[in-house]
Amino acid sequence: MGEVEEEFIQAPEHRPKPDITHAEGIPLIDLSPLNSQESDTNSLARLVAEIGEACEKWGFLQVINNGVPSKVREKIELASKEFFALPKEEKKKTSRNEVNLFGYSDFEITKSVRDWKEVFDCTIDNPTIIYASDEPDDEELKELTNQWPEYPPDLRDVCEAYATEMQKLTHKLLGLISMSLGLPKDRLSGFFKNQTSFMRLNYYPACPAPELALGLGRHKDAGAMTILVQDDVGGLEVRRKSDGEWIFVKPIPDSYIVNVGDLIQVWSNDKYESVEHRVTVNPEKERFSIPFFINPSHSIWVEPLKELINEQNPSKYKGYSWGKFYATRKLSNFKKLNTENIQAHHFKL
């Protein structure tokens, strides 16, 4: 194997391989070539091709044999359930607001009355540095820090351990996506020094009128990529590119759902597309999920990668500041801005 491939190899985790060949249309990809000492260049090349095809045709995929220890996942799922089972007044002690952007929020106070859920957000780099405002000429920075509840007492440790494993998986996936674009494995990694990534614990209570609400309305993710774990209830739906139909993403044990975000769409100059998705609610069962949002540094200028631009494939976007974009999106959670909620398509040429 070459030097690039060898950097991916880690000791395999000993767990049975699920007897599954599909996931309701969403490509299911086995990452075991990254975890096996016996993998060869051909198996890695096939894996890179699978990743590229999934990103191009779906914008979504599920990964198994991903190297994330089951115990780490089980602990955060348990801690999430313990936190959301607390009385509302206890959870609200860590409520997020315009000053503290990370913490607890419930569906009664979110900007969309159709979002039937409660959340707890925490940043990955603590503190995280962002712009203090969305004004183009304002260069003032501020630090964002996490708020941790008193109960459950191990929530911080559990979340930090999970974040460590998610960053390992992120490194693998960004490398594969980069290579699928014909670029060096580490081409995208430099964007994530001093990252603005964060993770979210989601709780969707059983909804007595599911025909009148959604757990989360249709949207695209603004960042680079999202890695999601969902429980066995399910509820995530993806809008299929080929015909616009909404496809239910069937829960698969020990899998993670990965989707391309707007930044990878821009960096790839539309070769890979960020795809709409939504979350439905269940009239009888509560649901839990944990998305890990991978975002670059506030200082990153976003534009199509120069290696992918030529006369036959000119740039399809004008550049924009991720930091200002991120500040606008965060502030819009707490106050009405003078402009429409900014989207990547606003920068389309």
Q: What is the average pLDDT score of the chain?
A: 87
CATH code for 71-247+277-347? 2.60.120.330
Q: Which of 13-22, 80-89, 236-245, 277-286 has the highest mean pLDDT?
A: 80-89
Lowest mean pLDDT among 85-89, 153-157, 227-231, 344-348: 344-348
Distance CA 61, CA 54 (A): 6
Q: Is residue 113 very low, low, confident or very high in pLDDT (cuts 50, 70, 90)?
A: very low
CB-CB contact of 294 with 221 (8 Å): no
Q: Is residue 337 very low, low, confident or very high in pLDDT (cuts 50, 70, 90)?
A: very low
Residue 16 has pLDDT above 80, yes or no: no
CB-CB contact of 197 with 292 (8 Å): yes
pLDDT of residue 240: 93
Strands 216-219 and 277-279: antiparallel
3-class state of residue 266 by DSSP:
helix
Distance CA 246, CA 238 (A): 5
Strands 198-204 and 287-294: antiparallel
Distance CA 93, CA 52 (A): 44
Distance CA 278, CA 280 (A): 7
Distance CA 314, CA 193 (A): 28
Q: Is residue 345 very low, low, confident or very high in pLDDT (cuts 50, 70, 90)?
A: confident
Amino acid at 64: I
Lowest mean pLDDT among 35-44, 49-58, 116-125, 141-150: 35-44
Report pTM: 0.89
- As a whole number, mean pLDDT of residues 98-111 equals 76
- Classify burial at 338, counting beta carbons within 10 Å of its beta carbon; exposed 0-12, middle 13-18, buried 19 or more: exposed
Q: Domain coordinates of the chain in residue numbers?
A: 71-247+277-347
